[in-house]
Amino acid sequence: MEPLSGQDDLPPRVEASAAQAGHRPTEINALLGRGTRFEGKLYFEGRVRLDGDFQGEIRGDDVLVIGDGARVSGDILVGACIVTGGEVNASIRARTAIELYAPSKVTGALHAPAIFIDRGVQFDGTCKMAPLDEADTRTSKEAAPPPSTPAPPTPASPAPPAGRE
């Protein structure tokens, strides 16, 4: 199967994933293009496509498309994740589905209620095909422990009187 070269030639599975997430299959809300590098945290709504280099954390309730030429590493928690090419070294958790299409190279742990791996995909990792637990679906902001309040300073012990041993 040919990877997505544009937005008008979506495979049927990709169209179904977009429809499940409530978006038109060809609508892209944000794009990280080839030759672009980003390191950090990405929170998004709608459909996002990555064709450049991304390292960090990705969170969203909608569809993430990782395209040809992309190199992505980190932790991904999204509504649906569609990898049409590129290299991914990440933990991918999706609320609806994960789809891997050739010529993708994916290393990591996959967890979603539905997982599709196309013939020709290079995959090295683990798959868990089950709904995400509630703890898995929280965003990192929700999952982060509350900031700790520093303990009040303890008074210093008095110095022993001079001349005593």
- Token reading at 18: 């977009």
Q: Considering its fold, how many domains does the chain have in total?
A: 1
Establish whether the linkage from the previous residue to 103 is cis, with ω within 30° of 0: yes
Domain that holds residue 111: 12-131
For the stretch 64-106, pLDDT in tens is 999 999 999 999 999 999 999 999 999 999 999 999 999 999 9
| 165, part of any domain | no
The pairs formed by 16-21 with CB atoms below 8 angstroms and a separation of 24 or more are 17/63, 17/80, 17/82, 17/96, 17/97, 17/99, 18/47, 18/63, 18/80, 20/79, 20/80, 20/96, 20/97, 21/47, 21/61, 21/62, 21/63, 21/79, 21/80, 21/96
Q: What pLDDT is recorded for position 6? A: 42
| 46, part of any domain | yes
| 92, part of any domain | yes
| 143, part of any domain | no
Q: Is 23 helix (H, G, I), strand (E, B) or coil?
A: coil
| 137, part of any domain | no
Q: Is the pLDDT of residue 127 over 70?
A: yes
pTM of the model: 0.69
